[in-house]
Amino acid sequence: MSVAPALQANATLERYRTLFEERFTSGPLLEARRDALDAFLKRGFPTQRDEQWKYTSLRRLEARTFVLGEAAPVSLEPARRPWITHGGGFRLVFVNGHWAPALSSPMAQPPGVTLVTLGEWVKHEPDAVLEYLAQASHRSASALEQLNAAFFEDGLVIRLSPNARVDDPIHVVHVWTSTTRPAMAHPRVLVRAGHHSSCTLIEQYVCCGEPESFTNVVAILDLEEGAQVQHYRLQQESPKAFHIGHIDVCVRRDARYGIHDFSLGATLSRLNIRVRLQEPGAHTDLHGLLPPSGTQHLDTHTLIEHIAPHTTSTENYRGIADGRGRGVFNGKVLVHPGAQKTDAHQSSRNLLLSPTAEFNAKPELEIYADDVKCSHGATIGQLDATALFYLRSRGISEADARVLLIHAFAHAVLASVETPAVREHLEALLAARFGSTQVTS
Amino acid sequence: MLRIDNLHVRAGEKEILTGVTLHVAPGEVHAIMGPNGSGKSTLVQVLAGREGYEVTAGSVTYQGRDLLALAPEERAREGVFLAFQYPVEIPGVNNAYLLKAALNAIRKHRGEPEVDAFEFLALVREKMKLMQMDESFLSRGVNEGFSGGEKKRNEILQMAVLEPTLALLDETDSGLDIDALRVVANGVNSLRRPDRAIVMVTHYQRLLDYIEPDKVHVLAGGRIAKTGDKSLALELEKRGYDWIKQEAA
Ligand SMILES: Nc1ncnc2c1ncn2[C@@H]1O[C@H](COP(=O)(O)OP(=O)(O)OP(=O)(O)O)[C@@H](O)[C@H]1O
Ligand SMILES: [Mg+2]
């Protein structure tokens, strides 16, 4: 009796094998890909029985059949393209998972940086890629990461030379165009920041039209001693999109990794961020805004591991759930034995704008050292009635007062965005989503 | 200007006001005193349109109109201003932005042209000088991290900019040092005009040395238990409220 559903599930998964056999028939990576595929098929998509997936069901994703994304032209004129187009910097665009040189900056590299697309890297240095994959499989071993390792085709490798300070942001755009059939891509982003190097990375996931897409991206970042990486991640995919992201960061001595996670789009989004503070002095700042609306389901799980003593982290997440939207935030801080003098602060504040909206916010502290300073707080509430009254008592309409307070709430995350082009882009997105006030300022 | 007649107000199961009658004519300054919890804040908040209170009987007319029928923002645009006992901190909403938005909402309602950034700054600078406030307060979040006294000053700054017809001041003097009290009183006095009225809630006779009231009322037992002139405040200072409660009972 209990065999039947398992067989059925396997039949769903078998579609991935068929697709794999069609697409990958030879090449130096075939064996590694096949191992990853087998690992994925053996485990299948995570289910809600898995504690990590308790609030997020992938059944809708699993039921769909996706083809692999194909390169396509982007017909939109420059001014109407959905990504940040001003603000300088170095831009690399991937369309439906494939590098689009015509839309990207010329491959003249900014000094101190080596940028290679994953496709090129595989072509020119397959052995290095194999070695990397073997290493990466220890770090990214979940079923969905294995799925990525089986199917990945393109992506980006960023290497910063020691002491290289890259002022202009490196901007990576993943865009989906309207496709006739639901399509998927499994891109990878690899960053190796040499000692005392620094850069700003902007990652944008956008779309033209409303394609049914499935993105399953893996990003692996290594920050050597004293390196600084500021990462802005804007997920603005189509309302019919499924977006799964994995970020794995290793932070060495005195290095700093900061991320702003703006998970705005997709019908279902799940981001896993894992930061390992590997050596003394390592620091990380995690900021995030999750505003599910309509029937969106937006989920971010973060895991900060304090492995070495004298490591510090701060985390500031905000959720704004509207309509029938559902948000999930799970922030785990794990302090390893011996990681004395750890300093970890986490705050998760969430706003419910409608009676049918939901938010599950859960901080988790697991501490195996005794001399540490850790704090966390999670709140869920509605717009502050007293603040609303205060604004209205000054002549501001109720609608405008609500908009002002919602923006003020989101501002706590936006305020720490240091790249003006990113902040302006986000302000426009949030104005479109929550409305802008009628009052002239 | 303001006619409150037999006003009964309830919050949940609690009867807070049980028949307040109070008439304020243009040009007048009224002080409302009374024990803690007697309903002074409730009265002024109900006048400003705070939700969560149920008016079970009585009426309030303002300039001949039914005040209770108006939304809070409509009352503000009609010239009612409440200086809060506990001004609200709103991080992320810029202080200057709120001031300008409020001013323009009121001007628009009056059919006046909105002020531009230049005119606004000139006006605010002048009023900030009057309130002896540093301009750095403009760029901060509304009341965000302001000290108790700074919050009160900010309320009066807003009032000075918006120039209300009916100003309701709820314990604006509480928590002010002696110099600040003089500054705030100056701000209030500069607003006095024959066509405007001021109702101020206070616990201290001292404020009335600076802002001369036409009438002093005592709110106790849910209604105006006694009305007098400035000397009533002096008497209260000496004798407390018990005798009024007994008189009223
Ligand atoms: N929303 C409410 N729900 C229940 N009780 C309330 C509510 N608002 C006020 N009260 C109660 O009504 C009474 C009057 O409160 P109010 O704040 O008006 O007093 P007050 O005269 O301003 O006092 P104070 O001098 O201490 O400022 C108090 O007992 C208070 O607890
Ligand atoms: Mg009070």
Residue A346 falls inside a structural domain? no
Q: What is the mean pLDDT of residues A242-249?
A: 97
A259, A408: one domain: no
Residue A246, φ and ψ in degrees, nearest 5: -130, 125
Q: Look at strands A90-95 and A98-99 and give their pairing.
A: antiparallel
B183: helix, coil or strand? helix
The 3-state secondary structure of A307-337, one letter per residue = CCCCCEEEEEEEEEECCCCEEEEEEEEEECC
Low-confidence ranges of chain B (pLDDT < 70): 249
Residue A10 falls inside a structural domain? yes
**pLDDT at residue number A73:** 85
- In this structure, the number of other CB atoms found within 10 A of the CB of residue B231 comes to 10
Of the candidates B48, B49, B92, which has its C-beta nearest A408's C-beta? B92
pLDDT-based confidence at A108, cuts 50/70/90? Answer: low
Domain containing residue A187? 3-279
Q: Does B140 touch chain A (CB under 8 A)?
A: no
**pLDDT at residue number A9:** 56
Note the pTM of the prediction, 2 decimals: 0.90
* Res. A438: pLDDT tops 70: no
- The answer, yes or no, to whether any atom of ligand 1 lies below 6 A from the CB of B105, is no
Is the Cα dihedral A268, A94, A173, A150 positive or negative? Answer: positive
Residue where one domain finishes, among candidates A279, A306, A331 = A279
A413, A267: one domain: no
Of the candidates B51, B76, B88, which has its C-beta nearest A395's C-beta? B76
- What's the CA gap between A202 and A219, in Å, rounded? 13
- Nearest CA distance, A414 vs chain B (angstrom): 10
Per-residue tokens: B179? 């110099």
User: Would you tell me which residues 157-176 of chain B have a C-beta closer than 8 angstroms to some C-beta of chain A?
Assistant: 158, 162
pLDDT in tens, A419-428: 999 999 999 9
- The answer, yes or no, to whether any atom of ligand 1 lies below 6 A from the CB of B41, is yes
**pLDDT at residue number B172:** 93
Mutation choice for B interface testing from A394, A397, A417 by most B CBs within 10 A = A394
pLDDT in tens, A364-421: 999 999 999 999 999 999 999 999 999 999 999 999 999 999 999 999 999 999 999 9
- Nearest CA distance, A398 vs chain B (angstrom): 8
CA of B36 to the centre of ligand 2 (A): 7
> Domains in chain B, start-ordered, CATH in brackets?
2-248 (3.40.50.300)
A271, A396: one domain: no
Number of domains observed in the structure of chain A: 2
Residues around ion ligand 2, judged by CB within 5 A, are B 40-41, 85
Q: Does B76 touch chain A (CB under 8 A)?
A: yes
Q: Tell if the CB–CB gap between A395 and B162 is shorter than 8 Å.
A: yes
Residue A315 falls inside a structural domain? no
Indicate the top mutation candidate among B42, B84, B199 to test ligand 1's pocket, ranked by most ligand atoms within 8 A of CB.
B42
- The answer, yes or no, to whether any atom of ligand 1 lies below 6 A from the CB of B39, is yes
Rg (CA), chain B: 18
Of the candidates A393, A437, A440, which has its C-beta nearest B114's C-beta? A440
Buried/exposed code over A9-41 (b: 16+ C-beta within 10 A; e: otherwise): eeeebeebbebbeeebeeeebeebbebbbebbb
A8: helix, coil or strand? helix
- What's the CA gap between A334 and A277, in Å, rounded? 10
Residue A326 falls inside a structural domain? no
pLDDT in tens, B54-86: 999 999 999 999 999 999 999 999 999 999 999
- The answer, yes or no, to whether any atom of ligand 1 lies below 6 A from the CB of B52, is yes
Q: Tell if the CB–CB gap between B76 and A387 is shorter than 8 Å.
A: no
- The answer, yes or no, to whether any atom of ligand 1 lies below 6 A from the CB of B11, is yes
CA of A111 to the centre of ligand 1 (A): 66
pLDDT in tens, A82-106: 999 876 678 999 999 999 999 988 7
- Which of A69, A52, A2 shows the shortest CA–CA distance to A211? A69
Q: Does A411 touch chain B (CB under 8 A)?
A: yes
- Nearest CA distance, A438 vs chain B (angstrom): 9
Q: Torsion-angle region of residue B36: left (phi > 0), alpha (psi -120 to 50) or beta?
A: beta
**pLDDT at residue number A106:** 75
Residue A416 falls inside a structural domain? yes
Check: CB of residue B150 under 8 Å from CB of residue B95.
no
**pLDDT at residue number A321:** 97
**pLDDT at residue number A79:** 80
Q: Torsion-angle region of residue A283: left (phi > 0), alpha (psi -120 to 50) or beta?
A: beta
Q: Tell if the CB–CB gap between B104 and A439 is shorter than 8 Å.
A: yes
Q: Does B71 touch chain A (CB under 8 A)?
A: yes
* Res. A107: pLDDT tops 70: no
- Residue located nearest, by CA, to atom 16 of ligand 1: B39
Considering only CB atoms, which chain B residues are within 8 Å of A394?
A: 73, 76, 98, 101-102, 105, 158, 162
Check: CB of residue A322 under 8 Å from CB of residue A357.
yes
Task: Quote the ipTM score.
Answer: 0.96
pLDDT-based confidence at A2, cuts 50/70/90? Answer: very low
- Nearest CA distance, A431 vs chain B (angstrom): 15
B56: helix, coil or strand? strand
- The answer, yes or no, to whether any atom of ligand 1 lies below 6 A from the CB of B40, is yes
Residue A337 falls inside a structural domain? no
- The answer, yes or no, to whether any atom of ligand 1 lies below 6 A from the CB of B36, is yes
Residue A206, strand partner residues: A175
User: Would you tell me which residues 365-384 of chain A have a C-beta closer than 8 angstroms to some C-beta of chain B?
Assistant: 384
Outline where A140-289 has alpha helix (H).
143-151
Residue A393 falls inside a structural domain? yes
Rg (CA), chain A: 22
pLDDT in tens, A320-332: 999 999 999 999 9
Q: Does B119 touch chain A (CB under 8 A)?
A: no
Residue where one domain finishes, among candidates A255, A279, A303 = A279
- In this structure, the number of other CB atoms found within 10 A of the CB of residue A255 comes to 28
- What's the CA gap between A260 and A387, in Å, rounded? 27
Of the candidates B72, B100, B142, which has its C-beta nearest A392's C-beta? B72
Residue A284 falls inside a structural domain? no
A vs B: CB pairs below 8 A: 88
Residue where one domain finishes, among candidates A233, A249, A279 = A279
Q: Does A217 touch chain B (CB under 8 A)?
A: no
Q: Does B113 touch chain A (CB under 8 A)?
A: no
pLDDT in tens, A194-217: 999 999 999 999 999 999 999 999
